[in-house]
Structure 1
Amino acid sequence: MDLLAGYGGAAIVAALVAAFVSAFVRGLTGFGMAILLVPILALALLPMEAVLLTNFLSVFIGMSEIRRLLRSAEKSAWIIIALVAVSTPVGLYILSITAPALARVVIAFIALSAFAAVLLPRRGALDHHPATTGGVGVLSGLMTGYAGMPGPPVVPYYVGRDIPRETAKASMLLIFTCASTTGLVSGAAMGVLDWTLAVLAILLFPAILVGNWLGNKASGRIEDRTWRICVGAVLGGAAVAALWKAFG
């Protein structure tokens, strides 16, 4: 497959800009890269390729800051990661047999529910039932395989609780890095992973690296309330875009 065959010059620039912007949002909020990047990449690539390419980029940027993530993440992240590893292959299989129109509707409503959950009053730091943690892990895995987007279930779980921002961000990003790794392993096992996608990921990675660095710098300069507003705005925009694509 010629990865660049579907891209003209303008499309390549658009992919680079999308990579930069999505990575900036990731650095700022702790999530959002896949939610913003997959739809743009899917304009020139097959949905499966867009999902797996985004997984490559997520693994690359996650490994560049893995020490900080391991140091700051909450223990609950490891429970979610274990469940993500089990359920991601199921989501990838469902994607392979689902009509695109139906998939867009499902993703739209999941994004909308995540936005609504973030608007709810913050809960206590320890206020999370084991069943809730388990449900987040399973749903995040299904979304990783189905849409390359582990974030919609995970973001409300951490952002909606009264815990330090750095703990919330590190926990989410550690989950996303491991989820993307699971997505790539699942794709390879199913025979749907074209390893030349890694080449395109390498080409886009400098834009990801710079955008993420700038987002992290900006995150350290804003108040917690402003940060939470940014999180809600990104989720809300993603939900509106997903609904428009599903029903437009």
Structure 2
Amino acid sequence: MDILAGYAPLQIGVALLAAFGSAFVRGLTGFGMAILLVPVLALAMVPVDAVLLANFLSLFIGLVDIRRLVQTAERSAWTLCLLVLLFTPAGLWALAVTSPDLARFVIALIALSAFVAIYLPRASDLPPGRATTAGVGVLSGLMTGYAGMPGPPVVPYYVRRDLPRATAKASMLLVFTAAGLAGLGSGAALGVLDWRLAILALLLFPAVVLGNKLGERASDAVGDRAWRIAVGIVLGGAAGAALWRLV
């Protein structure tokens, strides 16, 4: 296809494998798709394109299940969604003016932070205060724009509390869906969105749907402690590999 002429077969192949694997983790845990996907994509394409491609895929897969997410998510998720929408443009602008090598390094560090967050002690089941919620929303918006990763602040916000897994997963996924929309809107407004990425995202989407479905099935058979450990290992491996490649 002429519209994909700018992407080498290796780039498309890497994107396909990364999309499937990260979507599996998303279905298993409710998070991790962007955290895993963006560092890998950023090794095969310009970081801005990697972030925006991840935004397309996050939005597409989120819209597939949007009704359940809206019905199950905690009310705090709507506050986070609003803050993500407001602060994503600033993060994307920072990415656009950052050198590719530095951007890849920062993205890898953000992925590493998610690995650390998985193993933080659990908090109570009480909702965090307004200041904490505001801080998580602002930071998540900035990370959405700069790295396509709203997850590092959002994941511990929900996972470290004793919430039902269904509520925590739906809340995180609702925020991530809004983050995908925010990232794409910001990219278009700033003039850095290559619309060929939408076609590439559509080509990758079947792999995302399949990976997500298989992950959801696996989630039913995995205990809470087991999935936390497994995902932590995967996230740490992804961040470590990205850092090793850069160094």
- Cα deviation, 1:192-241, whole Å, max 9, x if unaligned, reads 11222111111111111111001011111111221222332233223323
Spell out the pairing of 1:84-163 with structure 2 (5 A cutoff). Answer: 84-163=84-163
Q: Which runs of 5+ in 2 are unaligned?
A: none
Q: Is the 8 A contact 1:6 1:44 kept in 2?
A: no
User: Cα distance 1:17–1:111, how it changes in 2: closer, same or farther (>3 A)?
Assistant: closer
Q: How does 1:1-248 map to 2 (within 5 A)?
A: 2-8=3-9, 10-246=10-246, 248=247
Residues 7, 44 of structure 1: 8 Å contact kept: no
- Letter of the 1:17 counterpart: L
Query: SS at the partner of 1:42?
Result: helix
> Residues of 2 paired with 1:201 and 1:168: CA distance?
27
Q: CA RMSD in A?
A: 1.8
Does the C-alpha gap of structure 1 residues 209 and 196 become closer, same or farther in structure 2, counting only changes over 3 Å?
same
Instruction: Give how far 1:119 is off.
Output: 1.4
| 2: CA distance, partners of 1:194 / 1:31 | 26
Partners of 1:148 and 1:82 lie apart in 2 by: 16
Counterpart amino acid of residue 88 in structure 2: T
Q: For the structure 1 residues 20 and 109, does the alpha-carbon distance in structure 2 shift closer, same or farther, using more than 3 Å as the test? A: closer
What do residues 85-134 of structure 1 show as CA deviations (whole Å, max 9, x unaligned)? 11100000000111233333433433333332321221111151221111
Q: Is the 8 A contact 1:80 1:175 kept in 2?
A: yes
CA distance in 2, matches of 1:153, 1:239: 16
Structure 1 pair 50–5 and aligned structure 2 pair: CA distance change class (3 A): same
CA contact (8 A) 1:36 1:238 kept: yes
Q: Percent of aligned pairs with the same residue?
A: 66
Number of residue equivalences: 246
CA distance change for structure 1 residues 44 and 228 in 2, over 3 Å: closer, same or farther? Answer: closer
Shift of 1:162: 1.1
1:160-212: CA deviation from partner (whole Å, max 9, x where unpaired): 11111111111111100001101111111111112221111111111111110
Distance of aligned partners of 1:197 and 1:41 in 2 relative to their CA distance in 1, 3 Å threshold: same
Deviation at 1:27, TM superposition (A): 0.4
Contact 1:114 1:152 in 2 (8 A): yes
Q: 4+ residue stretches of structure 1 with deviation over 6 A? A: none
